[in-house]
Amino acid sequence: MLKKWTKHKQERLKDKLFIAMLILPAGFLLCFAIFIPIVKSIYYSFFDYSLLRISEKSFTGLANYFDAIKDGDFFTSLKVTLIYVFVVVVIEFVIGIILALLLNRNFKGRKIIRSVVLIPWIVPTIVVALLWMWIFQADYGVLNYIFVKLGVLSENKKWVSEPDLALSAVMIAALWRQLPFMATMLLAGMQGIPTSMLEAAKIDGAGRVQLFFRIILPFMKKVINTVTLVAIIENFKMFPMFWIMTGGGPMDRTTTLAILSYRTSFVELNLGKGAAIGVMWLMLLVVISVLYNKLFSDKESEGMN
């Protein structure tokens, strides 16, 4: 009895050791390159810390935060970021769900089309940026040519360098790359709806529109929550598209938080202020995610009642 018990204990100890060994590689990497840096970065945000004198740091309390807010840069770039994220994610979701509905129909060659749809998603972001810069090119770009020929535009536009158009230009490029992924995920969620449920609704006389709003959308709520939240977070972080296409210009009209914090930290070399911007950004994102998840779960309980 006792022997059995000690053996059992020994096995459990071995289990623990095994678990530790399994988690060690990933744990080490994540600590080294993510958890320790984020803690350090939060710590730096309270110091006057510059890349020019990396060994000298002096505690300045909230000075970096006040500095970032006082500039006004923080709020302008926050506004640009929020507009960019909101517009891209909403359009992406609407077109994505339309595309998913279309691809969910029975037609010849739908398998091939479903793969072809994914192509933009595997094109590297920097290539997407370059490709759209070529399409948007002011004098020889194909978009201006077509739009002027069709009479949509009266003259060539400098898409990427005109203050009022630059952000839309980046949005279109981002949308092009991200739409395939969104549509594919939504399609996967749609395919998880039991056909019996759809059949039953049809027998009850539900029309197409009713079927979509009463059955399909509610059923896909969890998928929609996940993929749109992923899209929000990814777009909040978007850096390459802006850096390559506009660099934050013209006149800071496309300076997002990602561009602002990069510029502050690695161009102006003010690491403390850059860190402070990062901390405010992180807090904002945490609040947004919590509220977003709450929004979805509240609706669920309403539906249950």
Partner 1 sequence: MEKSIDKRSEKIISIIALILIMGFLILPFYWMISTAFKDNSVIFRLPPEWFPLKPTLDNFRKLFSEPFFLVYYKNSIIVSMGATVVSMVAAMFAGYAFSRFKFKFKNQFLMLILSTQMFPVISLLIALYGMYSKYNLLNTRLGLVIATTTASLPFCIIMIKGFFDEIPISLEEAGKIDGASRFGILFRIIFPLSKPGLLAVGMYTFLLAWDDLLYALTLVTKDEIRTLPTGISIRYLGELAYDWSSVMTVSVVATVPILVLFLFLQKYMIAGLTAGAVKG
Binding residues for partner 1 restricted to 125-144, rule: CB under 8 A: 125-127, 130-135, 137, 139-140, 142
Within 8 A by CB and 6+ apart from 128, the residues are 120, 173, 174, 176, 177, 241
User: Are 275 and 44 in contact, with CB atoms under 8 Å apart?
Assistant: yes
The answer to whether residue 25 forms part of the interface with partner 1 (CB under 8 A) is yes
Run of H or E including 59: strand 53-59
Q: Least distance from C-beta 229 to partner 1, angstroms?
A: 10
Q: Least distance from C-beta 272 to partner 1, angstroms?
A: 9
The answer to whether residue 240 forms part of the interface with partner 1 (CB under 8 A) is yes
Rounded to whole angstroms, the Cα distance separating 157 from 121 reads 27
The answer to whether residue 69 forms part of the interface with partner 1 (CB under 8 A) is no
Q: Tell me which residues in 266-305 interact with partner 1 (CB under 8 A).
A: 266, 271, 274-275, 278-279, 281-282, 285-286, 289
Q: Least distance from C-beta 301 to partner 1, angstroms?
A: 21
Instruction: Name which of 2 and 93 has its Cβ closer to partner 1.
Output: 93
Contact with partner 1 (CB under 8 A) among 179, 235, 246, 248: 179
The answer to whether residue 223 forms part of the interface with partner 1 (CB under 8 A) is yes
Query: What is the CB-side half-sphere exposure of residue 183 using CA atoms within 13 A?
Result: 27
The answer to whether residue 180 forms part of the interface with partner 1 (CB under 8 A) is yes
The string over 250-277, giving b where at least 16 C-beta atoms fall within 10 Å of a residue's C-beta and e elsewhere, is: bebbbbbbbbbbbbbbeeeebbbbbbbb
Within 8 A by CB and 6+ apart from 218, the residues are 303
The answer to whether residue 119 forms part of the interface with partner 1 (CB under 8 A) is yes
Q: Least distance from C-beta 22 to partner 1, angstroms?
A: 4
The answer to whether residue 90 forms part of the interface with partner 1 (CB under 8 A) is no
**Cα Rg of the chain (Å, integer):** 25
Q: Least distance from C-beta 2 to partner 1, angstroms?
A: 23
Backbone φ and ψ of 293, nearest 5°: -65, -35
